[in-house]
Amino acid sequence: MHDSNLVHPDSPSALPLLPNLHGRHLILGSASPRRKQLLSMLGLPFEVRPLDVEEVYPHSLKGPEIPRYLSELKAVAARPHLNESDILITSDTVVQLNGDTLEKPASHEEAVHMIMSLSGQTHQVVTAFCIIDGRTPDLLQTDHDITEVSFEHLSTEFADHYVKNHQPFDKAGAYGAQDLIGACAIHTLKGSYYTVMGLPMHKIFSALYSLD
C-alpha cells in the first residue's frame, strides 16, 4: 500500500455514527474519482485500491443483475488480499434505456450516439455495491439502487461538444450528472443523485452501520 492511496477527508468524521468502524480499515475498490469524492463525505480515512478486473458478465443477465454481478466479481477478486480489519466496498453502475444496457463508450462516436439516444428520454441509472467484511470474508453483502433520470432534447452539436470537452469514456451512458449535462440536460431526477454519480450513499451508510 502506498501513502498516495490513502485518503484523509476534510469532512467532519461520521465515526460517532458508525462506532463499529473504530479500528477498521476501509477500502474503496475503485479508481473512480467520483466514488472517492462520495465516500469522502463520511469523513473517514480510507484506502483507494483500484482493481484490475475484466468487467465481463453473462449476456443472460438483465437490469440490476448486471451491476450486482460486476460488483461481486470485483469484490471476489480482491478478497484474497483482505485481512480481518479490512472492509472492502466495490461498485458498478449501468444505464438502462428501454431495456437496453448502456455501459462505458469505447469511442467518441459511440459516446455521442449514447447521449443522443438519451435525448428527450427517461432512463434508469442502476448502481450496485458489494461489501466484504474481513472478519467474515465469505459473506458478500450486495445491494443496488435505481434512479430515474429525464433528459431535455439535445442537439448533436451539444453532444459532440460535451464528449470533446468532458471525455466521458469512464462513465456508464457516456455522461456525468455532476458536469455540463447535469446542469443543462437533466430536467427531472427521481431517486438519489449520488446513485447517479456512482455510489448510493444512503444504502452504503446503512450497510456499514449494520456491520458487527
Number of C-alpha atoms within 13 angstroms, CB side, residue 175? 32
Compute the distance between CA of residue 130 and CA of residue 205 in angstroms, rounded to an integer: 13
Going by DSSP bridges, is the β-strand pair 86-97/25-28 parallel, antiparallel, or unpaired?
parallel
Q: Is 61 helix (H, G, I), strand (E, B) or coil?
A: coil
Q: Is 12 exposed, middle or buried (0-12, 13-18, 19+ CB in 10 A)?
A: exposed
Query: Of 64, 79, 200, which Cα lies nearest the Cα of 124?
Result: 64
Alpha carbon of 116 to those of 119, 170, 173, 178: distances in Å?
A: 5, 18, 10, 18
With cell 471525455, the residue in question is 167
**Per annotation, catalytic residue among 86, 92, 133, 145:** 92
Tell me whether residue 179 is one of the annotated catalytic residues. no
Residue that has been written with the C-alpha cell 479490512 in this structure: 86
Residues that are catalytic: 92
